[in-house]
Structure 1
């Protein structure tokens, strides 16, 4: 139940008591976002988002994040068109501290001049990263063209030209104008006492005064172009990304519910009408989706397409024709009913975590003035009639759309031809007709059931886990696991792919396959009451997959295109090169997608053989979290699984790896590139080696806004927007590393900066204060990650599968608490051998390998970037 209260100064406070887990989310929503900015200060709302955690009158720079992470919590913020949000999620016993931190940040920022200059550099790095993303580019160009001359046509980040002119004085002035009692609302969700929470809120926010609301730049409620518009950009990619959008009204308009149902019916996942037609039937697109984007004052209905260059125009022609055919024949009651069930399930799932629940309340309050508006909106959705969707589609098609596309370098787009397609009207065709729930392990014959019963939500999450996975792929069948994952649920003896998608969406349920490195299986999510309807579908998917030839060919072609475009993103290139250099010919060193050669040769019988080799009774684990009848559940699942073969192929023997004998450097050139990518790492312990817990604490020490990497490389040196430690706990050999993305001219300083931070960890033990923070941060992250039923089911199931024990996660706290600072330093020294590190670099020009080696050693200032051979 949502309780609403108003503080004496008018600030609304919303409280939801939820005692399912000992966590709480504190969120301050400021009803001011980028839509309130003038062109001159574009990006200042986002700049403020960065600034408010950079010190207050009683907390120095870095102390805010440090306090939260010392409590095992997380703190963050985000900016949108209408709002800027500051939030923390942490253990409920630290609620008062979390509330104090958020309230302090939104009232008393110091805007230190030097600190703001450093943070400005970080934001400029974030803008560069955005410019390097082809998908961000296509979106930015769409909004710019769709809403010219309005704040909605600008990126929320602003532009480098405007951000460079924002200093601490401008920030102070804007903050004073927009952050006051008339723009702030507070949301508290979790394991708290309402009366106590309200008293604290009055104490900490009661001193804020109300001011006259700032004027909002005028924006028309509805944009209507006179002719189609086309905007394009080229990037070093392999496929085309397209967004095609039509005008939509503001969020409060009565046309929104039917338009929302229409967009979801057309574009929701693989069951959406567009995906079924464009990807499955016509094979003209690699992916397609559709969504409604509505703001407080304007919006758009947008279709996203991914196509190969040769299918750019054919796909657009068919898309346009399909929409007009659908406009003629109309949507059926059956087609929209499945969407209604799916949206209902989405509302329930949104309340699974305290952070998600609070965020939904904040969104609906900002947009509608009522946090209960979500239920009212859902009621409007449930009342939509097919004829209303038909009217919405007809009206949409009368408008002139905007098309934004990013295409491969060298591919020429005929803008006139595209405009003609968008202008065309196809000929009419004939119409086509408890807080600490018990976790237990039960063994029934060959099946191990790991179960945790939770009744606060009527939802069940299940993981059916089999030993196997991509680790078992032979060298000539690489990618067979990935392809199996894509095709497994696409057809069975009694259901074809459209029936499967329809049944699941109508139930608000999901069944998906997964193939990891060492395990594979099925994931299920469904409302408890829907199990009788889900059961026959699960049975047929598990026992009788047919791997239809047509579905196989579609997914195979998409996988081949994914392989071709896998190296489009600079950060992905950096990671792939790193894995290959670190793990060599071990399976961990290869892409999970396979290769063009191996995937091209795969046949449906290869999927059948892989499925039959590893989907059997031996070793299976069924992990279930949610509200279910334990006895009935175990009986019915056992009956299904016991119809599988008793055994299958023998698993590959584990392979141990040893560190390289010397420093390894791999470099790749990619243009255009606004940010260089750096990944430095080392081999780590295997899953059963308890050294990994010390490395987890080291990771926690380095991670987060209060971590060493963030404070030194981002805050103090302004080298990057994104810098983070990386750790992978693998069955055979793990990994520990550090990633950073920085401007190309900062490359040598960033490389050496990483080394210096790693040297610190090896040469001297962290302080007791750092150790306490690292432990609380890690334990807090574990608690937060355990909110979702699906995460719990996977964690419990994998721990049991790997021989750690189903309740291993419950013992983590004791293991972590027992580790000393010297233990961490000793383990760091053991694994972080700096002279045997692997350095993976993606840069905008070729360079000497010696340049990277000298940068690592701190000698790069004497070198220049001379053009030489690539190192990789």
Structure 2
């Protein structure tokens, strides 16, 4: 990979990242212009301006801009933060030049038409409403108000009164002030073999000169604060904020490490004390958020509100122990490895790697600031990290607590102020046989192969030499499809408990070693599969795979962890009762899957969860391990001979099993049903849809095509319902395709006062597809779009593991996904039109979760 930062003849600061052979590319335009630069009367304008750039250019008016990108399978988007805004196109490498042309046209020649502003105000207002409904986003907004200073104290989205009154003049003014050459970086990343042509294209665009953005110091308020607010939730969330130094400060890395040692990962001090050993909290996490000139340390935890006093006491006793005795070298090494490895994993995807360099420019003006920070992480000593935590706790503290509606707040405020007092005191306490193996290969992907380790047990191997990382999966047939109303959720709970230790390896030791190696080992359960997945670095393959097979073959489920996981799942199920979107989809799936197991909740029900026992879960796992077909998957940079030998040794005690054909249970879904779920919310969550087809059916591929047609910012669905009518912030097609059943529909989150109009608009689009279908040129465009999406969607080891494993497990073949793509490419227009007329003549199920008044 070659990195070259240059300033071309048009004076545009440009970063070229050349990755030979890369099938995907990305073009990104970064501006050091975010919400921290806003004044009181235009709060939210940076984000609103981001939206307005998508309204087209003279060359590509309206949705034509997104249409042109999505026509070759690309994807365009943007995001606004406190200090910067980024616009980007992810593209197949064949269309790098076109993507450069479109993105630069977008940012250099926007229309900013007056006629687009009223509807976009409504779109952003719906986004604002969604944020107000979302407990996590609402909580962060309250945290900002309570503890942040200056331009960082208001929401990036702005306020209701500013959003609904943004003007064309404000949009143009903010752009003219901050969108200039002094604040811009263009990133072009991918296989840049035609760089000369790309440079020629870039030179043809012009941006103006202007003043460089000046960001004042980010500081939290000097006076400590306690903020308690309520929301429609079931569990409390507490966030502790403390001042952090600048990202480039010599002590920043040590403080960052200290926060992570305290609260990052399952072997961290706080997680062990508050979650693993006592279950006082559901979860806890620590991190540092950096800005252009400063930062904030945050420790966030969730728990039943009645646990606050106990959480406070145990938190402080754990912290005091660290302040007195320090961290062990092993703890610090673990966090260092995790931080550094996360940067290595980013290089699996050209998009994420380019984002990391662009973010470096936006944050500090230096694209290599992350590499420099990593070196500081490596160099930080045990004593420096110990001193770092001492300095952190000496900072002014701010507590933000979100509690369920109806909770008495005065006792909680009193408890938090007491906690603040304890925190103040705390700082004073410190101080070749393989050529004969029968292999199944792919006609589409020369890097992948399948071998049989023994009857009924196969290994999928795919080599990827780009990075020294790997993933390993183990898949067994099972999961939701074999459950009933009496044992719903049993596989989900089993999968969560698989990694709490195994014979000869206790939980604490296992988790400590996994985290010290910056790896992850987790169980999973889906509609038709159950198993485990491991991510790690190749240098640790031997040690990590030992844990993988130990956990898979001889797992142990200590009762205290079983009880803990049950509590967490029951709390999650309880929380779902207040989640309008989840309840809407739950009702929809009950309609379309009817009596089929897919209609059950993957996590089960409170009634079923309470009937499970550790012995029962181990029995379920042992039964699958003994009788189910097994698929192991390895994707990484090790040679096949090494991997094959390792798997042969690891599975030598497993008995062969006879692959059997499972009788598929077809779902008889309901149609024409309605459901109105009462939720006092600003937005109503709406799902409109019907039963569809299982995976492997040609009709299912047609639905994939129509889903692509209705997806994206240039789609009829997005343009009509969101852009023209301003009925929502979010609208998208739903396509669930599984082994035994499927469903299709449209989701929209619309204001409670726009519900009827939203449903009418969606049904109008569906009826138009029934009556008129789509044009032939759009039919061909869909094929190109899906080809491009496939190229972008499969890049990392994890992507490939998922792409191949499920089809092989269920006997669909190694090339099943590729054959599906071939069928889409060869689909006939007339057949597709006939399908649309038939499928869209269905009676639709309609679920609404919102106000019924």
TM over 0.5, yes or no?
yes
Shift of 1:61: 0.2
Shift of 1:213: 2.9
Q: Distance in 2 between matches of 1:504 and 1:380?
A: 23
Aligned residue number for residue 673 of structure 2: 664
Are 1:695 and 1:824, in contact at CA under 8 Å, matched by a contact in 2? no
Aligned residue number for residue 640 of structure 1: 650
CA change 1:652–1:815 in 2 (3 A) is closer
Shift of 1:189: 1.1
- Does residue 575 in structure 1 map to residue 571 in structure 2? no
Deviations 1:220-265 (A, max 9, x none): 44435333x2222222221112211112122222221011111222
Task: State the SS of the aligned residue for 2:504.
Answer: coil
Aligned residue number for residue 208 of structure 2: 209
From 589, 594, 599, the counterpart of 1:584 = 594
- Does residue 144 in structure 1 map to residue 145 in structure 2? yes
Q: Distance in 2 between matches of 1:215 and 1:346?
A: 31
Aligned residue number for residue 356 of structure 2: 360
Shift of 1:589: 1.0
From 838, 841, 865, the counterpart of 2:845 = 838
Shift of 1:455: 0.8
Shift of 1:436: 6.0
Aligned residue number for residue 484 of structure 1: 494
Between stretches 745-754 and 165-174, larger displacement belongs to 165-174
Task: State the SS of the aligned residue for 1:774.
Answer: helix
Deviations 1:42-67 (A, max 9, x none): 11111111111111121110011101
Between stretches 546-555 and 70-79, larger displacement belongs to 546-555
Shift of 1:833: 3.8
Shift of 1:769: 2.9
Shift of 1:609: 1.0
Aligned residue number for residue 249 of structure 1: 245
Aligned residue number for residue 337 of structure 2: 341
CA change 1:694–1:524 in 2 (3 A) is same
Deviations 1:492-540 (A, max 9, x none): 1121122122211222222211111211111121222211221221221
CA change 1:659–1:512 in 2 (3 A) is closer
Task: State the SS of the aligned residue for 1:230.
Answer: strand
Are 2:26 and 2:351, in contact at CA under 8 Å, matched by a contact in 1? yes
Task: State the SS of the aligned residue for 1:387.
Answer: helix
Aligned residue number for residue 109 of structure 1: 110
Written as runs of structure 1 = structure 2, the 5 A alignment for 1:57-76 is 57-76=58-77
Written as runs of structure 1 = structure 2, the 5 A alignment for 1:144-293 is 144-148=145-149, 150-193=150-193, 195-196=195-196, 199-205=199-205, 207-214=206-213, 216=215, 219-223=216-220, 225-227=222-224, 229-293=225-289
Q: Could you tell me the TM-score, scaled by structure 1's length?
A: 0.93
Are 1:138 and 1:242, in contact at CA under 8 Å, matched by a contact in 2? no
Structure 2 stretches of 5 or more lacking a match? 432-443
Shift of 1:618: 4.4
CA change 1:310–1:580 in 2 (3 A) is same
Q: Distance in 1 between matches of 2:12 and 2:128?
A: 34
Shift of 1:203: 2.3
Shift of 1:781: 1.7
Are 2:260 and 2:287, in contact at CA under 8 Å, matched by a contact in 1? yes
Q: Distance in 2 between matches of 1:127 and 1:651?
A: 51
From 379, 383, 388, the counterpart of 2:375 = 379
Aligned residue number for residue 699 of structure 1: 707
Task: State the SS of the aligned residue for 2:738.
Answer: coil
Aligned residue number for residue 43 of structure 2: 42
Shift of 1:428: 8.0
CA change 1:224–1:39 in 2 (3 A) is closer
Shift of 1:317: 2.8
Shift of 1:304: 1.1
Shift of 1:302: 0.7
From 629, 654, 669, the counterpart of 1:619 = 629
Q: Distance in 1 between matches of 2:846 and 2:46?
A: 36
Q: Distance in 2 between matches of 1:212 and 1:338?
A: 43
Task: State the SS of the aligned residue for 2:700.
Answer: helix
Between stretches 645-654 and 388-397, larger displacement belongs to 645-654
- Does residue 528 in structure 1 map to residue 538 in structure 2? yes
Shift of 1:430: 14
Aligned residue number for residue 779 of structure 2: 771
Aligned residue number for residue 418 of structure 2: 420
Task: State the SS of the aligned residue for 1:751.
Answer: helix
Aligned residue number for residue 756 of structure 1: 764
Task: State the SS of the aligned residue for 1:732.
Answer: coil
Q: Distance in 2 between matches of 1:648 and 1:279?
A: 42
Task: State the SS of the aligned residue for 1:477.
Answer: coil
Q: Distance in 2 between matches of 1:92 and 1:192?
A: 8
Between stretches 550-559 and 242-251, larger displacement belongs to 242-251
From 451, 460, 469, the counterpart of 1:459 = 469
Aligned residue number for residue 753 of structure 2: 745
Are 1:439 and 1:807, in contact at CA under 8 Å, matched by a contact in 2? no
Are 1:245 and 1:300, in contact at CA under 8 Å, matched by a contact in 2? yes
CA change 1:234–1:823 in 2 (3 A) is farther
Q: Distance in 1 between matches of 2:777 and 2:308?
A: 57
Between stretches 311-320 and 345-354, larger displacement belongs to 311-320
Q: Distance in 2 between matches of 1:663 and 1:771?
A: 29
Are 1:27 and 1:88, in contact at CA under 8 Å, matched by a contact in 2? yes
Task: State the SS of the aligned residue for 2:223.
Answer: coil
Between stretches 490-499 and 74-83, larger displacement belongs to 490-499
What do you get for the CA RMSD once the two structures are aligned?
A: 2.2
CA change 1:537–1:829 in 2 (3 A) is same
Shift of 1:813: 3.0
- Does residue 794 in structure 1 map to residue 802 in structure 2? yes
Q: Distance in 1 between matches of 2:427 and 2:716?
A: 65
Task: State the SS of the aligned residue for 2:486.
Answer: helix
Deviations 1:290-332 (A, max 9, x none): 1111111232111111101221232133223322221111111
Q: Distance in 1 between matches of 2:788 and 2:313?
A: 52
Structure 1 stretches of 5 or more lacking a match? 847-864, 866-872
- Does residue 820 in structure 1 map to residue 806 in structure 2? no
Task: State the SS of the aligned residue for 1:624.
Answer: strand
